[in-house]
Amino acid sequence: MSPPTPAASPFARFVQSEAFAGLLLVCTALIAFVWANSPAQGAYQTLRETYLTLSLGDARLGLSLEHWVNDGLMAVFFLLVGLEIKRELLIGELASRRRATLAACAAAGGMLVPGSLYALLNAGGPGAAGWGVPMATDIAFALGVLALLGSRIPLGLKVFLTALAIVDDLGAVLVIALFYTSDLNLGALALAALTWGAALLAGRRGVSSLKVYGVLGALLWVFVLQSGLHATIAGVLLALAIPIRRPEPAGYLASLTDAARPGRGEQVGARLRDLEDLLERAQSPLHRLEHALHPVVTFAVLPVFALMNAGVTVTAGGLGTISLGIVLGLLLGKPLGVVGGAWLAVRLGVASLPRRVTWPQMVGAGILAGIGFTMSLFVSNLAFEGGALLTQAKLGILIASVLAAVLGAGWLLVVSRSAPAGAGAARGIRAKEDGTA
């Protein structure tokens, strides 16, 4: 009989979920690309441009289906991103100073170098506004590729890539807020600030009802949308307000013990229901919301976003300096920046490589960081209003992301195959230093 399988850790469950999300994204993106280049491409464009209006009394909000997805559904994605950033900073991988420093330095290099390469190629041209496009990393795709490689890849590399992508997402949010914002409506901005203040106050007071944050989040989204900031920023702002401290209800432990006492018939059923309720209340609002949003984002938000945005019609002359800048930024700039930033942090003594991870494997992680799909497509929609420039950007993103996935997986297969022979002694030394076998 095989030994019982231990329960998966929260991080392991997260990796598995994001890996599946990556595979689902690939399929949805392929469907959109084929559809946009088929005889039925007119139906695809009609679907994207379908106008939907939401009415509440005298208030009306009308947007195309594409904008509902990019401004509305993606706010849910950014809410999840914000929750993950907050969790990692307070109690996760980024709570450790050395780990956080390694991820921050690698992410900073992985944003500055690709952006600079793109800017050099497109300075003064019509594509100059797209410098933020090659900065982002798609965590779902990257972890999906790592999952396909299985146990050949050390867990430390997966942890590093996850932390890198989370810091990278934080950088992308700042870039969007600071540089891809239209003219501001100060009245709506003031209402957004008041609503966010109410959410922050609720969080400080320990309000645990997700319904309260849901109402405040909906109002915040409307006000941010009207203010001129991109509406998805509302998701990140709301995430910062949701408390992560675990509530300690009065008499919680005594109630838990009482609910777990043996009994008969209806008593046992009632106590089990009480026990479920107590365990639910023991989780912080942040953990409950993050757990609830993961399947929504995995199975709905990201696939629908890919369907609306990956349908690029290939035409003659569709490639240009914008595409070249994005491809060079993601394929060359990302690994150079990520590995260079990490090497500098280690060299200065402020960080160290994850256990059992080698520099060649870090290069592989840098190549995978060049998979920019979701966030890069999102930024490209902000940088270019549409037409040929947006088509060039999307083609560059798709080409670079596919090549980064293939090259990154191939590189890691080669270096991980040779790692045990060359790094075995070093691993043994590290294990003894860490007190582990």
Query: Which residue's entry shows tokens 């998805």?
Result: 232
Domain holding 117, by residue range, is 10-53+62-181+230-246+283-420
Kindly state whether residue 312 falls inside one of the protein's structural domains: yes
pLDDT at 423: 45
What's the angle, vertex CA 240, arms to CA 238 and CA 246, rounded to 5? Answer: 110
pLDDT at 422: 41
pLDDT at 218: 94
Q: 15: Cβ–Cβ under 8 A, 6 or more apart, which residues? A: 143, 146, 147, 158, 162
Mean pLDDT by 10 residues, the chain (437 residues): 49 54 80 91 90 80 86 89 83 80 94 95 91 85 77 84 84 84 83 95 90 94 87 88 67 50 54 54 79 86 88 74 94 96 95 90 94 88 85 92 93 79 40 39
pLDDT at 435: 41
Kindly state whether residue 355 falls inside one of the protein's structural domains: yes
Q: What share of the chain is helix, strand, coil (3-state, %, to 5)?
A: 75, 5, 20
Kindly state whether residue 353 falls inside one of the protein's structural domains: yes
pLDDT at 131: 94
d(CA 284, CA 225): 29
Burial of 398 (0-12, 13-18, 19+ CB in 10 A): buried
d(CA 195, CA 192): 5
pLDDT at 8: 52
Kindly state whether residue 20 falls inside one of the protein's structural domains: yes
Look up residue 434 and give its two tokens. 């860490």
Kindly state whether residue 199 falls inside one of the protein's structural domains: no
Kindly state whether residue 234 falls inside one of the protein's structural domains: yes
d(CA 31, CA 40): 12
- CATH number, domain containing residue 328: 1.20.1530.10
Query: Which residue's entry shows tokens 């965590």?
Result: 139
Query: Which residue's entry shows tokens 């990490």?
Result: 342
Count Cβ atoms below 10 Å from residue 400 Cβ, excluding itself.
Answer: 27
Number of independent structural domains in the chain: 1
Kindly state whether residue 434 falls inside one of the protein's structural domains: no
d(CA 7, CA 9): 6
Q: What crossing angle do the helices spanning 97-122 and 334-347 adopt, rounded to 10°?
A: 140
Kindly state whether residue 363 falls inside one of the protein's structural domains: yes
pTM over 0.85: no
